[in-house]
Amino acid sequence: MKGIILKDLYENFRIFKNGVSYLAAVLFLFLLIEAMQTGDLFSLKYFFMLITAFVFPLLGCSSIESSLEQDEKVNFDKIQLTFPITKTEIVLSKYILGICFLTICNVFSLIFVFSFTSSHNKITLQEGLSAWGFGVLFSLVFFAVVNFAFFLLGRKLGLIVYIFIAMLFGGIYGAVSSLKGMEFLMAGDKTMIFIIGIPIGILFVVISFFLSLACYKKRYS
C-alpha cells in the first residue's frame, strides 16, 4: 500500500503536466489574493471567503484525478491487482493520499486566515475562523462525493462530476453572498460547524470509502 501511495505522489508532482497544473493553481491563488486587496469591503470579504472556503479545499481534492489518469493510460489499475495487496488496501491508499492532500491544504488555509486577519483589521479572526470552518466542512463533503464519483464512473466522467459540483457550489456561493450579504456567510456559528458539521463531513468520507470499495470490488470481481 505504501508503494501505491508513493507512486500516486510521484504522478501528482513529477509528471510534467500535473506539476505545471499545480503551479498554475498556486499562481491563480496568488492572483486571487492580490485581487482581493484592491476592491471594497464586500470584494475583500467575498474573495477571502472564496479562497478560504472553496479554493484551498478544491486544491486538496485533486490528487485522485492525476493518479487515476496515469493508471488508465498504462493499465496500472489492472496490473496492481496482481500485486500481493488487497483491493481494500488499493482503495484505502487513494483515500489516505487524498486525506493527506486535504489536510495540508486546510492547514495552509488556516495559516492564511491567521496571517491575513492579523495584518488587516477589516476581517476579524472570528470571521476568518468561521470561513475556515466552512472550508473544512466543504472539503470533507466534496472529497467524499468526488472520490466516490471517480470510483463509480471512472476518471473522465468523475472529472466532469468534479467540475460540475465545483461550479454548482461556486454558483450557490455567489447567489447567497449577493442575496444575503457577506456578513451572513462569515458570521456562521463556529460551534455548529466544528462540533456538528465537521463530524458529519468525516462520516461522509467513511461512507464514501465503503461505497468506493464496493464499486471497485464489483468492477474487478
| 89-115 pLDDT, tens digit each | 888 988 998 899 899 989 999 998 998
pLDDT at 180: 64
Are 138 and 188 in contact, with CB atoms under 8 Å apart?
no
pLDDT in tens, 45-82: 778 888 888 888 888 777 777 777 777 777 777 777 77
pLDDT at 46: 79
Q: How far is CA 123 from CA 57, 104, 166, 168, 192, in A?
A: 20, 23, 25, 26, 21
For the chain, residues with pLDDT lower than 50 are none
pLDDT at 191: 67
pLDDT at 208: 95
List Cβ neighbours of 165 (8 Å cut-off, separation of 6 or more).
142, 145, 146
Could you write out the DSSP letters of every residue in the chain? -HHHHHHHHHHHHTSHHHHHHHHHHHHHHHHHHHHHTTS-HHHHHHHHHHIIIIIHHHHHT-HHHHHHHHHHHTTHHHHGGGSS--HHHHHHHHHHHHHHHHHHHHHHHHHHHHHHHHH-TTS-HHHHHHHHHHHHHHHHHHHHHHHHHHHHH-HHHHHHHHHHHHHHHHHHHHHHHHHH-HHHHHT--HHIIIIIIHHHHHHHHHHHHHHHHHHHHHHT-
Burial track 61-72 (b if 16+ CB lie within 10 A, e otherwise): bbbbbbbbbbbe
Q: What are phi and psi of 92, to 5 degrees?
A: -60, -35
